[in-house]
């Protein structure tokens, strides 16, 4: 996004250069019309054409929403040719009287180019070269070396300036790209739980924003590891962490890639199943329960439930985009599953609570 705005910034810079180019050319042409050189008797056509063209370009570029700076090179050569034509006409008229006319004209053109086109080396050359060649011809090649030397100095300076600008432009772009990739990396990391690699609540929030633009048929499932405090107390916190990691992986493994799995609390998980029918949601919930039990993580303190780690769960439909309501229903179902003996799934839509219980014998 920033690199996009940086491009916008460059575009507006080029647009300003174009406006400045038209302004300086029209102002110089106007000045030349109002204060013509001594002995000049007429207003030559190219002078009027430059003035009209540049005023039109100025107004058009100012009010147009489009950016025409890509056409700066074409404008430069056209205006440059008209200046050369003007110098030729005026020289015929006053050349013999005012010997400095050629030099002054050339400097004026270079002045406009240097100010307005310092960022665009090609446009600079296209604007200044016709007048330079014209002056060399009109001077009968008498001072070619001197003129070329005078012209080449600003050209070399401008070329170096152009090179430096390009380098700093590339550097800025690279830096912006790095900044953005770092920012995206940190933003992604901030949505993940460091222990399990699952989404955290922030990640869930982010996913919910995109989920509601999709079709309906979403389900929310809350899961909680049974008697995990007892597990921690007896096997140690580090074993508890390992169990959490394995259970997380089992849950992730049991659902589809499009489903969102969140570590919702310490030993509590949330699964957001999207675009799924009720029977498939139920089957996925059962699969999760099976996978966790299938891990065979010993838990001898899972009082009267099992000798291994188990989970209890509550499943609710997410209707009308009301996530909070669905979460509340899933929570109540989970609470009921816990109260009715654990290692069970309770479904929010079932009036009569018909829990799905899983025994280790059933698994085998």
Shortest Cβ 234–ligand GTP spacing (Å) = 11
Instruction: Please tell me the total number of residues recorded for the chain in this structure.
Output: 364
Q: Is 136 or 293 the residue whose CB approaches ligand GTP more closely? A: 293
CB of 114 or CB of 230, closer to ligand GTP: 230
d(CA 74, CA 206): 49
Per the DSSP assignment, residues forming a β-bridge with 312 are 224
> Which CA distances in Å does 174 have to 164, 167, 188?
15, 11, 21
CB-nearer residue toward ligand GTP: 183 or 229: 229
Closest alpha carbon to 267 in 226, 225, 232: 225
For residue 265, the minimal CB distance to ligand GTP (Å) is: 7
Residues 343, 357 contacting (CB under 8 angstroms): yes
**Residues noted as catalytic:** 267
- Minimum CB distance to ligand GTP, residue 301 (Å): 9
Q: Which is nearer to ligand GTP, 14 or 338 (CB)?
A: 338
CB 264 to ligand GTP: min, Å: 11
In this complex, which beta carbon is closest to ligand GTP, that of residue 67 or of residue 242?
242
In angstroms, give the least distance from the CB of 189 to ligand GTP: 18
Half-sphere exposure at residue 118, Cβ-oriented, CA atoms within 13 angstroms: 13
Per CB under 6 A, residues contacting ligand GTP are 195, 224-230, 232, 237, 240-241, 244, 266-267, 338, 342
| 317 contacts: CB under 8 Å, gap ≥ 6 | 218, 219, 220, 278, 281, 326, 348, 349
Q: Which residues contact 234 (CB under 8 A, 6 or more apart)?
A: 300, 301
Do 55 and 28 touch, CB atoms closer than 8 A? no
Q: Which residue is nearest to ligand GTP (CB)?
A: 266
Buried residues in 15-28 as b, exposed as e (16+ CB within 10 A): bebbbebbbbbbeb
């Amino acid at each position: 996004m920033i690199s996009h705005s940086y491009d916008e910034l460059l575009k507006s810079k080029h647009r300003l250069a174009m406006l400045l180019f038209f302004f300086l050319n029209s102002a110089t042409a106007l000045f030349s019309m109002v204060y013509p050189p001594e002995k000049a008797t007429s207003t030559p056509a190219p002078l009027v054409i430059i003035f009209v063209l540049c005023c039109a370009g100025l107004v058009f570029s100012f009010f147009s929403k489009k950016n025409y700076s890509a056409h700066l090179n074409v404008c430069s050569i056209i205006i440059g040719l008209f200046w050369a034509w003007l110098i030729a006409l005026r020289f015929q008229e006053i050349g013999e009287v005012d010997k400095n006319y050629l030099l002054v004209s050339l400097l004026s053109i270079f002045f406009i180019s240097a100010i307005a086109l310092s960022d665009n080396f090609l446009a600079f050359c296209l604007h200044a070269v016709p007048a330079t060649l014209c002056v060399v011809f009109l001077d009968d090649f008498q001072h070619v070396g001197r003129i070329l030397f005078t012209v080449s100095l600003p050209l070399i300076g401008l070329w170096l300036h152009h090179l430096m600008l390009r380098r700093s432009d590339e550097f800025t772009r690279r830096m912006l790209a790095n900044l953005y990739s770092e920012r995206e990396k940190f933003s992604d990391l901030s949505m993940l739980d460091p222990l399990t690699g699952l989404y955290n609540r922030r990640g869930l929030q982010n996913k919910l924003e995109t989920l509601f633009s999709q079709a309906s048929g979403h389900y929310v499932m809350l899961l909680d590891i049974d008697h995990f405090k007892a597990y921690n107390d007896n096997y140690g916190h580090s074993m508890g962490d390992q169990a959490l990691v394995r259970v997380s992986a089992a849950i992730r493994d049991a659902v589809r890639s499009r489903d969102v799995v969140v570590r919702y609390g310490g030993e509590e998980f949330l699964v957001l199943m999207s675009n799924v029918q009720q029977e498939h949601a139920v089957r996925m919930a059962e699969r999760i329960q099976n996978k966790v039990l299938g891990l065979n993580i010993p838990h001898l303190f899972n009082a009267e439930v099992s000798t291994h780690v188990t989970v209890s769960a509550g499943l609710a439909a997410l209707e009308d985009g009301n996530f909070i309501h669905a979460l509340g229903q899933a929570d109540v179902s989970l609470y009921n599953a816990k109260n009715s003996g654990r290692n069970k799934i309770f479904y929010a839509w079932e009036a009569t609570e018909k829990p799905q219980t899983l025994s280790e014998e059933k698994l085998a």
